[in-house]
Amino acid sequence: MLAAALLAWMASAFVWLAQASPVGLGLVIGAIGFGAMLTMAWGPRAGPIAFAPILATIFALTLPPPIASSAAPLAWTAIGCFAYLAWSMATVPPLQRLYRTRALFAALDATTTLMRSRAALLEASPDRREDLLPPWIGDESRLAERLQAARDLLFSAPDSPRARSETAALVEAIDVRDLLLASRLDLDLLGDDEPARAVRGRVAGALRGFADALMRITLPPPRTAPGEPRDGARARTDAAPRVAGTLLDGIFDASDPRALLLPAFVARLERLASGVRRIGEALHGGGEALPLSREQLRMFAATESWPLSALRASLSLQSPVFRHALRMGLALMTAYFIALQLPWSAHPHWLVLGVAVVLRGTLEQTITRRNDRVSGTVIGCLLVMLIAQLHSPTLMIAAFLAGVGVAHAFVTVRYRVTAIAATVMALLQAHLVDPQAALAIFERLADTVLGAALAWAFSYVLPSWERRTLPRQIERALAALRAYAAHALRSDPHAGVAQRLARRSAYDALGTIAAALQRSRFEPRGVRPPFLELASMLDAAQRLMAHLSVIRMSLALRAESPQRAESIAAVHGADRLLQQALDRSAHPAEPIEPPSPGALPEAAPQEDPAAWLLRRLRIAVADALAVRNAADAALAALGERSARKPWTAQLQRK
What would the pLDDT profile of 210-237 be if each residue is shown by its tens digit? Answer: 999 998 887 765 554 444 444 443 444 4
Instruction: Please give the average per-residue pLDDT across 287-302, as a whole number.
Output: 79
Specify the higher pLDDT residue, 116 or 243.
116
Highest mean pLDDT among 266-270, 288-292, 364-368: 364-368
The 10 Å Cβ neighbour count of residue 446 is 16
Would you place residue 654 in the very low, low, confident or very high pLDDT band (cuts 50, 70, 90)?
very low
Q: What is the per-residue pLDDT for 430? A: 80
The mean of the pLDDT values for the chain is 84
The whole-number pLDDT of residue 241 equals: 63
Quick check: 351 and 444 in contact, CB under 8 A? no
Of 163-177, 333-347, 389-403, 489-503, where does mean pLDDT reach its minimum? 489-503
Contact between 51 and 36 under an 8 Å Cβ cutoff? The reply is: yes
**Cα gap 6→551, rounded to integer Å:** 53
Q: What is the pLDDT of residue 588?
A: 53
Full DSSP string of 336-400: HHHHHHSS--S-HHHHHHHHHHH--SSHHHHHHHHHHHHHHHHHHHHHHHHHHHH--HHHHHHHH
Task: Choose among 53, 214, 178, 29: nearest CA to 547.
Answer: 178
C-alpha–C-alpha distance, residues 31 and 397, integer Å: 36
Confidence of residue 471 (pLDDT cuts 50, 70, 90): very high
- Please provide the size of the chain in residues: 654
Least confident of 107-116, 212-221, 603-612, 642-651: 642-651
Specify the pLDDT at position 61.
Answer: 87
Q: What is the pTM (predicted TM-score) of this model?
A: 0.81
Q: Compute CA distances 291 → 175, 176, 545, 621, whole Å.
A: 12, 15, 21, 30
pLDDT 10s digits, 479-511: 999 999 988 887 665 567 888 889 889 999 998
Which pLDDT value is given to residue 235? Answer: 45
Q: Are 40 and 321 contacting, i.e. CB atoms less than 8 angstroms apart?
A: yes
Burial class (CB in 10 A: 0-12, 13-18, 19+), 596: exposed
Residue 50's pLDDT is 92
What percent of the chain is modeled with pLDDT above 90?
37
| pLDDT over threshold 80, residue 123 | yes
Q: Distance between CA 447 and CA 72 in Å, rounded?
A: 29
The reported pLDDT for the residue numbered 653 is: 40
pLDDT-derived band at 158 (thresholds 50, 70, 90) equals confident
What pLDDT, in 10s, does the model give residues 517-536? 888 988 998 899 999 899 99
The pLDDT value recorded for residue 647 is 39
The stretch 596-625 carries a mean pLDDT of 76
**Contact between 423 and 377 (Cβ < 8 Å):** yes
pLDDT at residue 564, rounded to an integer: 58
Structure confidence by residue, pLDDT tens digits, 387-396 = 988 888 899 9
pLDDT at 400 over 50: yes
Which of 171-185, 231-245, 411-425 holds the top average pLDDT? 411-425
Q: Is the pLDDT score of 286 beyond 70?
A: no
Report residue 342's pLDDT band, with 50, 70 and 90 as the boundaries.
Answer: confident
Q: How far apart are CA 280 and CA 534, in angstroms?
A: 36
Q: In the predicted model, what is the mean pLDDT of residues 93-117?
A: 92
Burial class (CB in 10 A: 0-12, 13-18, 19+), 23: exposed
At 218 the three-state DSSP class reads coil
- Burial string for 326-340 (b: 16+ CB within 10 Å, else e) reads bbbbbbbbbbbbbbe
Lowest pLDDT segment from 48-62, 333-347, 461-475, 595-609 = 595-609
- Cβ atoms of 68 and 77 within 8 Å: the answer is no
CA–CA separation, 554 and 576 (whole Å):
19
Cα 226 versus chain centre, distance: 44
The answer to whether residues 352 and 58 touch, using CB atoms and an 8 Å cutoff, is yes
Q: How much of the chain exceeds pLDDT 70, in percent? A: 88
pLDDT digits (tens, 9 = 90+) for 629-641: 999 999 999 885 4
The Cα angle at residue 211 between residues 205 and 215, in degrees rounded to 5:
145
- Residue 283 phi, psi dihedral angles, 5° rounding: -70, -40
Burial classification of residue 101, based on how many CB atoms lie within 10 Å of its CB (0-12 exposed, 13-18 middle, 19 or more buried): middle
pLDDT of 6 strictly over 90: yes
Query: Which range has the worst mean pLDDT, 63-67, 154-158, 442-446, 585-589?
Result: 585-589
The helix or strand, by DSSP H or E, that contains position 244, with its residue range, turns out to be none
Given this model, what pLDDT does residue 498 score? 85
Residue 229's pLDDT is what? 42
* Residue 209: CB atoms within 10 Å: 20
Mean pLDDT computed over 356-365: 92
Specify the range with the lowest mean pLDDT, choosing from 1-5, 161-165, 603-607: 603-607
Task: Give yes or no for residue 644 having a pLDDT over 50.
Answer: no
What confidence score (pLDDT) does residue 587 get?
A: 65
Report, in angstroms and rounded to the nearest whole number, the Rg of the chain calculated over CA atoms: 29
